[in-house]
Every structure is written in structure tokens, then in C-alpha cells.
């Protein structure tokens, strides 16, 4: 989905708001958050990283070049880098506890649902980071192959191939987790 940037009034431009940024924010916040939460597997950290990604995009808005790609793809690239920074930071820090990630509000609490979620979480954690990223972009951010390609720099056909392989690995890992 390409973001069509709206015309901005002179008052908005004078108020220091970059032209079209508010619309970009409103149209993409949920998808960016979903993508980052899928990568980080931590709701609180995902909120912080999402805010950081939008802050970086806001500061760099004047450098966005629509010739090189869509604003949405550019924004996902910034979010990706912010999430990877957070993951690198986590590797340098020892965890204090081994608590499972908070699934967030509105999650079913039936025993079977909890078992399925635990199996998927364990399977996702066992995937290589590149596979987790593709699955997060596809299912948590709701992006198509072209959007994923724009965010990752991988060709759309290669995205499809890699995504298929990642999903196959995930299904296999979930099956193993459930059978344990």
C-alpha cells in the first residue's frame, strides 16, 4: 500500500510539522508496532522502539526521497533498524529474569490457546533472525512481498521464496513443540 501524502496548509508548515508526516504516522502506526512487537517479542520494548522509529523518521523526513521508494517502505526500514539496535543491545545485557513475554490485552486465556501461543512463541524464538523478521513483516505488520522487499532490500521474488521456507520451518517447529 503506497501512502498518498495529503496537501498541507501553510499553518501546518509554519508550525514546524513536516508535510504529510502526520498522515504517514496515522496510517502506519499499528503496522509498525505489530512488526516491531513480532521481532522483539516484548510489548513494552516494542512501544519504545516504535516511538523511536517515528521520532527518527520525523527528524529525517526532509531526506525522504519518493523516487527511491514509498514512504511506508522507508518507514519500515527505519523501524527495522531501530528494532535491530534493540536486539543488539539485549545481547550485550544479561537478562534479570526468564519471564515469558506479556501477550498483551485481549488475549484469550483458555488452556489450549495458551498452549498454542507458547508453541508458536517457542518456535519463533528458534528461527533465525532473518526468518523471524520476514514472518513479522508478513503477519504482524500485514505487508505484502513488495512492501517487505522495500523494507529489507531483498527482491520481491526472493522475499516470496524466503518467506515460504521460513513458514515451513515455523510450521515444523510448532508441530514439534505441540508434540512435546
Mean pLDDT of 129-151: 84
Which residues contact residue 157 at a Cβ distance below 8 angstroms, ignoring those fewer than 6 apart?
A: none
Query: What does the pLDDT read at residue 30?
Result: 92
pLDDT recorded at residue 91: 77
Q: In the predicted model, is pLDDT for residue 13 greater than 70?
A: no
Ramachandran region, residue 18 (left: φ > 0; alpha: ψ -120 to 50; beta: rest): beta
What is the percentage of the chain residues whose pLDDT exceeds 70? 78
pTM over 0.75: no
Amino acid at each position: 500500500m503506497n501512502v498518498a501524502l495529503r496537501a498541507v496548509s501553510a499553518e501546518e508548515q509554519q508550525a514546524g510539522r513536516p508535510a504529510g508526516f502526520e498522515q504517514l504516522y496515522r496510517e502506519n502506526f499499528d503496522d509498525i508496532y505489530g512488526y516491531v512487537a513480532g521481532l522483539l517479542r516484548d510489548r513494552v520494548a516494542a512501544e519504545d522502539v516504535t516511538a523511536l522509529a517515528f521520532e527518527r523518521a520525523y527528524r529525517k523526513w526532509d531526506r525522504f526521497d519518493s523516487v527511491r521508494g514509498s514512504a511506508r517502505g522507508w518507514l519500515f526500514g527505519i523501524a527495522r533498524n531501530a528494532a535491530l539496535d534493540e536486539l543488539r543491545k539485549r545481547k550485550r545485557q544479561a537478562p534479570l529474569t526468564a519471564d515469558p513475554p506479556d501477550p498483551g490485552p485481549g488475549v484469550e486465556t483458555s488452556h489450549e490457546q495458551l498452549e498454542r501461543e507458547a508453541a508458536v512463541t517457542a518456535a519463533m524464538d528458534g528461527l533465525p533472525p532473518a526468518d523471524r523478521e520476514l514472518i513479522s513483516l508478513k503477519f504482524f505488520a500485514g505487508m505484502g512481498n513488495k512492501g517487505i522487499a522495500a523494507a529489507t532490500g531483498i527482491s520481491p521474488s526472493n522475499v516470496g521464496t524466503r518467506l515460504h521456507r521460513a513458514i515451513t520451518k515455523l510450521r515444523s517447529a510448532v508441530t514439534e513443540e505441540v508434540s512435546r
